[in-house]
Structure 1
Amino acid sequence: MSDSNKTDFTNPSTFILLGIPGLEMAHVWISILFCTMYAIAILGNFIILFFVKMEPSLHEPMYYFLSMLAITDLVLSMSTLPKILSNFWFNSREINFSACLTQMYFIHSFFVMESGIFMAMAFDRYMAICHPLRYSTTLTYAMVAKIGLAVVLRGIIVILSYPFLARQSPYCRTNIIPHSYCEYIAVVKLACGNISISSYYGLFMVFCVRGLDMIFIAVSYIQILRAIFSLPTKDARLKALGTCSSHLCAILAFYIPVIFFSLTHRFGHNVPLHFHVLIANVYLLVPPMLNPIIYGVRTKQIRDRLLRLFTHKGT
């Protein structure tokens, strides 16, 4: 490590991203996995967007929310993976201070947006199953646009404090981030001043934003499951379950890694650092890869469109 990274400074012009500390020898192999996940995420989400645009039967509120989810996943993937891969492949560890704060903002704001989109999709399924007669009059195109705008604005506004708090903090010890990207807590922990405000605001975001989203989703699905199991026939119950199974799978793929990371980060003090960083990468990389697969497999219109596409190419 060069001495320039250890000397005192008021604020750094660049940060040094270590990748996954302790697993440097495995960076090349890990990068192959990450690159595969990145390619699947980019291709899969573009396919979702293309099919929703081209298939008239998908011009419904649920699939407009799915398009928003695909766009969010694309931004999350493209704002992090290129830098991670350049670090692993070319040892390009430096990142400009402002670029680091920008990456941090994009990651966390779009994560909040994704959580909000899942909440909107849960509301969509709630209306479709619990109040089917009011579905078309409640979830109009105008209402979907308003919900989408609210989700985007919430993600933009609530994360504005992250780069502001990080920029105001004095960095006088080191500019080395033991992480593969500019994660908020990993950056503010480098500050030599009091970071209690930054820490408390991070906890607020976890419990009062994502936590409330999870509560809303859980309440929605309790009502949905009650309505499903009160249906008179088994076929009707299976059909209703099928309409929300893909959404449930996507929710679990998104929230389980996030919850696990939050718990290990706050309470797993004896957990090795490389495990923390790996989990942080998992909760960032896995949902954008899995979401198009889940919806592609579980959505009949998308599945049929894919089959027609490959059938026409084969003839």
Structure 2
Amino acid sequence: MSISQNATNSSRFQVSKFILIGLPGIHEWQHWLSLPLALMYFLALDANFLTVITVHHEHNLHQPTFQFLSILAIVDIGLATTILAIFWFYAKAISLHECFTQIYAVHCFINMESGIFLCMDVDRYVAIFHSLQYSSIVTEAFVVKATVFMMLRNVLLTIPVPVLAFQRHYCSKNEIDHCMCSNPGVTGLACDDITINRFYQLALAWILRGNDMILVFISYVLIFHSVLRLNFAEAIVKALSTCSSHLILIFVFYTTIVVVSIAHLAGKAVPIFSVLRNVLNIVIPPVINTLVYALRAQELRVGFQWVFWLDKNMSQK
């Protein structure tokens, strides 16, 4: 690296690390939140690992619906792991590169989760409207192609978020009043203009999660419109039960997004809301997703019991 390049980097980064302060306004007693957050984190890991193992092990679960659920569980494991910084309740240092990496990971996993929900929605839509052609439309190849497309979409479009944050000039302040490296929290410390950072983050949210939410909403409007036209109560119940689990997950996921967006506005007056919105957006979905399917899908419950039975028998041998 040339002398001029070294000089440019040192002028851009007059701070060598960031300090995560924690939850604003409650620094004195925020360590009490570590226990419930830790329990939620390990519950999310256990439930999602169990889902992946069960779907992989049970041949009767090798269906697109449960394959997408398995992919969602993997995404949730990654998303839940990004909250490790939440347990840094006291002032902890994090390097610049680690901080930018966490920013990228959080955005990528959340957007990937939204994309998988859209794939699951397509699966349910085809199952209801084209039930006779379902097996020929939603094939294993379809699952692979849809997943790869969502991965490429999110991986590539999310790259500018940390890159733009890296381009900012951090001259003096390095204390982030947050329990994790969020893009607004980090770029808010910059000494130069961050308009492009705010614009791209907003555009990314609308292009990915916004469009996903609109497509999901339209598909369910069509589904409910079609269901309400059925003359048989049994057919209505069967159609609704086909997508009930997915509908619950969709409701929780996008309701969380709406709530945290409103909390973001409140965060201008009460900073803790701005922090909690990021925490809730990361913690809640990984915990809820598998539990909802486990409670409502008999095939998955049976698969769980079979895996536990195998583990128990192997441990006794």
- After TM superposition, the score normalised by the length of structure 1 is 0.91
| CA displacement 1:138-186 (0-9 Å, x = unmatched) | 1111121110000001110111001110000001130111111111111
The answer for the alignment partner of 1:299 in structure 2 is 297
Q: How many residues are matched?
A: 303
Q: 1:310 to 1:159 in 2, by over 3 A?
A: closer
- 5 Å matches for 1:1-315? 10-11=12-13, 12-81=15-84, 83-85=85-87, 87-88=88-89, 91=90, 93-265=92-264, 267-268=265-266, 270-308=268-306
Instruction: Note if contact 1:297-1:303 (Cα within 8 Å) is conserved in structure 2.
Output: yes
Secondary structure of 1:15 counterpart = strand
Q: Which amino acid aligns with 1:215?
A: I
**Greater alpha carbon shift after TM alignment, 273-282 vs 67-76:** 273-282
Instruction: Note if contact 2:83-2:279 (Cα within 8 Å) is conserved in structure 1.
Output: no
Q: Which amino acid aligns with 1:84?
A: I
Q: CA deviation at 1:110?
A: 1.1
CA–CA separation in structure 1 for the residues paired with 2:162 and 2:278:
19
Q: CA deviation at 1:10?
A: 3.8
CA–CA separation in structure 2 for the residues paired with 1:176 and 1:21:
12
Instruction: Note if contact 2:227-2:239 (Cα within 8 Å) is conserved in structure 1.
Output: yes
Q: Which amino acid aligns with 2:206?
A: F
Q: Which amino acid aligns with 1:44?
A: A
Instruction: Note if contact 1:129-1:227 (Cα within 8 Å) is conserved in structure 2.
Output: no
Instruction: Note if contact 2:17-2:95 (Cα within 8 Å) is conserved in structure 1.
Output: yes
**Greater alpha carbon shift after TM alignment, 232-241 vs 96-105:** 232-241
CA–CA separation in structure 2 for the residues paired with 1:16 and 1:9:
20
Q: Which amino acid aligns with 1:139?
A: V
Structure 2's unaligned 5+ residue stretches are: 1-9
Q: Which amino acid aligns with 1:282?
A: L
CA–CA separation in structure 2 for the residues paired with 1:262 and 1:158:
21
Q: Which amino acid aligns with 1:300?
A: Q
Q: 1:96 to 1:155 in 2, by over 3 A?
A: same
CA–CA separation in structure 2 for the residues paired with 1:209 and 1:84:
26
CA–CA separation in structure 1 for the residues paired with 2:19 and 2:91:
9
Instruction: Note if contact 2:116-2:150 (Cα within 8 Å) is conserved in structure 1.
Output: yes
Q: Which amino acid aligns with 1:217?
A: V
Q: Which amino acid aligns with 1:175?
A: N
Q: CA deviation at 1:9?
A: 6.9
**Greater alpha carbon shift after TM alignment, 199-208 vs 231-240:** 231-240
Q: Which amino acid aligns with 1:206?
A: A
Q: Which amino acid aligns with 1:252?
A: F
Secondary structure of 1:95 counterpart = strand
Q: CA deviation at 1:253?
A: 1.6
Q: Which amino acid aligns with 1:205?
A: L
Q: CA deviation at 1:306?
A: 3.1
Structure 1's unaligned 5+ residue stretches are: 1-7
Q: CA deviation at 1:84?
A: 2.0
- After TM superposition, the score normalised by the length of structure 2 is 0.90
| CA displacement 1:120-152 (0-9 Å, x = unmatched) | 111110000011122111111112111000000
CA–CA separation in structure 2 for the residues paired with 1:65 and 1:136:
15
Alignment identity in percent?
A: 37
**Greater alpha carbon shift after TM alignment, 231-240 vs 282-291:** 231-240
CA–CA separation in structure 2 for the residues paired with 1:213 and 1:70:
19
Q: CA deviation at 1:25?
A: 2.4
Q: 1:9 to 1:180 in 2, by over 3 A?
A: farther
CA–CA separation in structure 2 for the residues paired with 1:35 and 1:98:
25
